[in-house]
Amino acid sequence: MSHVFISYARADEPMAMLIADELRGDGFEVWRDDELPAHRPYAEVIEERINGAKAVVVLWSAEAAKSHWVRAEADSARTALTLVQASLDGTVPPMPFNQIQCADLKAWNGERTAAGWRKLVASVAQLAGTAPDPSPREATGAVSICVLPFQNMSGDAEQEYFSDGISEDITTDLSKVSALEVIARNTAFTFKGQSVNVCEAARKLGVTHVLEGSVRKAGDRVRITAQLIDGRSGGHLWADRYDRDLTDIFTIQDEISKAIVKALKLKLLPEETKAIEQRGTQSPEAYNFYLLARQYWITGNIGDMRREERVMRICGRAVEIDPYYARAWALLAMAHSNLRYAFRCEVDDGYAAAHAALTVDPSIAEAHLPMVRRLEDRGLYAEADAEMEAALLLDPESWEVNKEAARVLMRQGRLEDAAAHLEKAVSQIPSDVHAWARLVTLYHALGDRAAQKAAAEMAVTQAEQVLAQDPSNGAVLSFGAGALASLGQLDRARDWMERALLVDPDNLSMRYNFACALTAFMDDKQTALRHLERSLANAGAFHLKLVEADPDLELLRDDPNYKAIISKARKRLGIDELEAAI
């Protein structure tokens, strides 16, 4: 349970009661001033409750803006970084609160799918350290399990990647058992860092069993504890502790997976036993490096090329230790490909690494993605589309595969299909600012204003989190600026653009994003064309095709200057001659 304080004007009490009840239904412990004790001073209790709250929800209205109490409570929350704002009647929060995001609950009637409500709940959940789901998922199998993120007990936060990797690998192992339904890794990881009520988690996820555990890694030794719990009764069905050398890490994972299958009274088929025992590498050292690189890939700042550079270095070390480690080769290939095509760096395009991955293990979906980009850059679109289809067939749930499929479908003009893939991507990694920004573009083109607004709000929220840690991330500033522009916050969008140009003036992808926002949402075609021309100065065919298909630039298509810019780029790349030959 999480403590949430609600601040409101007396005239807004009916709405405050509704919001409190809905948050309680989500599992939050909510307090508002109807619970004031009769024996203590009002101000003393209010101060105590605000200071103890993880999230302070301030409900702004015309009356609330006049209330000294509401302003004082909002100011305390702002100082403590616990402030969550919502407007009940369209009132803009007074200064200085108007500089902070505010959920729109005007005319809200309790509808849980409303964009304003989703935004408020997401902010409360983020501050409170939980992401409750009031609607239990329906199980599709008789026996099902969720592998909660194993706790890092190493006393070193930098070892978090190792415990996360163990959790992910056990999830993968169990998913190979046909008689067992396994909750996806990204769903399970919404519980990371929380004190979890296992029975409640099992109910929400619709599973019969939960696995939890811990990892302590010190030098060449590792201790792993694991316990299998009945989701209905909370009773332990199996538990064990493994104190081993780090070289035994694969054996430990095999033993845990097989012990769980035995405790659940399931039968492993011979091919399933073999699949569980396949690790991709026999080197614990290479495995450790891969887990570290994978963590940077998932949690690193999208839009910051330092993520790709780190992954390349770490994966390079992994494949140096084990040249037959297919997953490390595939991740190395994606990092190379991103640097080449997304950041336009003069590096290898990842083809060789991708080929190495597929030679060792043809089932790795992500290894097809660098092939897609290489073929597109050479104008071989039919072949690129075939590679994309191959990746989707191999792993339709992959975050990377869904993002790339969305980009390819945008090039083909299939915007609804592209949006569906991006929706799946952000459901797996909600911190993906780039994917949220792309959804803003797609929803705008499709005319879905409610979805566009919700996606833009998420893009801004996620961008703000990234920028709090990395203020110089030009790409994220550009994603956020576009989202702000789509929300009508044009002055703030311009501020973000100006800031981005000061900290990262040579980021050409950033300038392309500016061109999109200026065209679609800011009615500034001339500035957009200047950014677009510079963005395309040394772009390859991969990027040019994205420009030609991007619905954000639709209003520029008939402009003579736009046509001249595109014609110049096509001529430089020889695309007209190539397409004529094809």
Taking only the tens place, the pLDDT of each residue in 300-325 is: 667 678 889 999 999 999 999 999 99
At 46-69, the pLDDT tens digits run 777 787 788 889 999 998 888 888
Residue 404 burial by CB count (10 A; 0-12/13-18/19+): exposed, middle or buried?
A: buried
State how far the Cα of 296 lies from the Cα of 291, in Å rounded to an integer: 9
Q: Which residues pair with 244 in a beta bridge?
A: 222
State how far the Cα of 557 lies from the Cα of 15, in Å rounded to an integer: 47
Confidence of residue 139 (pLDDT cuts 50, 70, 90): low
Confidence of residue 43 (pLDDT cuts 50, 70, 90): low
Confidence of residue 544 (pLDDT cuts 50, 70, 90): confident
43 or 62: which leads in pLDDT: 62
Token look-up 């510079």 returns 534
7: how many CB neighbours lie within 10 A of its CB? Answer: 28
Amino acid in position 81: L
Amino acid in position 277: E
- So what's the pLDDT on residue 113? 66
- So what's the pLDDT on residue 374? 93
546 or 350: which leads in pLDDT: 350
50 or 438: which leads in pLDDT: 438
- So what's the pLDDT on residue 2? 53
- So what's the pLDDT on residue 133? 46
- So what's the pLDDT on residue 172? 85
Dihedral, 57, 63, 67, 69 alpha carbons, nearest 10: -30
* Percent of the chain whose pLDDT exceeds 90: 38
**pLDDT score of 121 more than 80:** yes
**pLDDT score of 34 more than 70:** no
Find all residues with CB under 8 Å of 316, minimum gap 6, and list them.
332
* Percent of the chain whose pLDDT exceeds 70: 93
For 429-453, give the DSSP string: -TT-HHHHHHHHHHHHHHT-HHHHH
- So what's the pLDDT on residue 132? 43
Average pLDDT, the chain: 86
State how far the Cα of 553 lies from the Cα of 516, in Å rounded to an integer: 6
State how far the Cα of 335 lies from the Cα of 67, in Å rounded to an integer: 53
- 95-102: average pLDDT: 79
Q: Are 552 and 520 in contact (CB under 8 A)?
A: yes
- 90-105: average pLDDT: 83
At 206-238, the pLDDT tens digits run 899 999 999 998 888 889 999 999 988 888 899
What angle (nearest 5°) sits at the alpha carbon of residue 95, between those of residues 89 and 100?
A: 75
Q: Give the sign of the dihedral formed by CA 462, CA 466, CA 467, CA 472.
A: negative
Task: Report the range out of 43-47, 395-399, 513-517 with the highest average pLDDT.
Answer: 513-517
Token look-up 């009508």 returns 488
**pLDDT score of 177 more than 60:** yes
Q: Which domains does the chain have, with CATH numbers?
A: 3-128 (3.40.50.10140), 144-279 (3.40.50.10610), 430-582 (1.25.40.10)
69: how many CB neighbours lie within 10 A of its CB? Answer: 16
- 532-553: average pLDDT: 87
Confidence of residue 39 (pLDDT cuts 50, 70, 90): very low
**pLDDT score of 77 more than 90:** no
What angle (nearest 5°) sits at the alpha carbon of residue 100, between those of residues 95 and 101?
A: 130
Q: Which residues pair with 428 in a beta bridge?
A: none
Report the predicted TM-score, pTM, of the whole model to 2 decimal places: 0.68
- So what's the pLDDT on residue 481? 96
- So what's the pLDDT on residue 141? 57
What angle (nearest 5°) sits at the alpha carbon of residue 62, between those of residues 50 and 17?
A: 50
Bond preceding residue 96 cis, omega within 30 of 0: yes
Q: Are 499 and 463 in contact (CB under 8 A)?
A: no
**Phi and psi based region of residue 341 (left: phi greater than 0; alpha: psi -120 to 50; beta: remaining):** alpha
At 385-405, the pLDDT tens digits run 999 999 999 988 888 999 999
User: 288: part of which helix (H) or strand (E)?
Assistant: helix 284-299
* Pairing verdict, β 55-60 and 29-31: unpaired
428 or 151: which leads in pLDDT: 151
Least confident of 41-55, 146-160, 262-276, 450-464: 41-55
At 330-348, the pLDDT tens digits run 999 999 999 988 887 888 9
Confidence of residue 175 (pLDDT cuts 50, 70, 90): confident
Q: Are 199 and 191 in contact (CB under 8 A)?
A: no
Confidence of residue 440 (pLDDT cuts 50, 70, 90): very high
- So what's the pLDDT on residue 373? 93
- 404-408: average pLDDT: 95
Q: Are 226 and 211 in contact (CB under 8 A)?
A: yes
189-198 long-range CB contacts below 8 Å, 24 or more apart? 189/149, 189/164, 190/131, 191/148, 191/149, 192/149, 192/164, 193/129, 193/149, 194/129, 194/130, 196/148, 198/229, 198/231, 198/234
**pLDDT score of 203 more than 50:** yes
**pLDDT score of 576 more than 80:** no
Find all residues with CB under 8 Å of 515, minimum gap 6, and list them.
528, 529, 531, 532, 535, 553
Task: Report the range out of 99-108, 243-252, 338-347, 400-409 with the highest average pLDDT.
Answer: 400-409
What angle (nearest 5°) sits at the alpha carbon of residue 318, between those of residues 287 and 366?
A: 80
State how far the Cα of 464 lies from the Cα of 428, in Å rounded to an integer: 20
Instruction: Report which DSSP code applies to 230.
Output: E
Q: Are 542 and 579 in contact (CB under 8 A)?
A: no
Confidence of residue 187 (pLDDT cuts 50, 70, 90): confident
What angle (nearest 5°) sits at the alpha carbon of residue 300, between those of residues 83 and 311?
A: 170
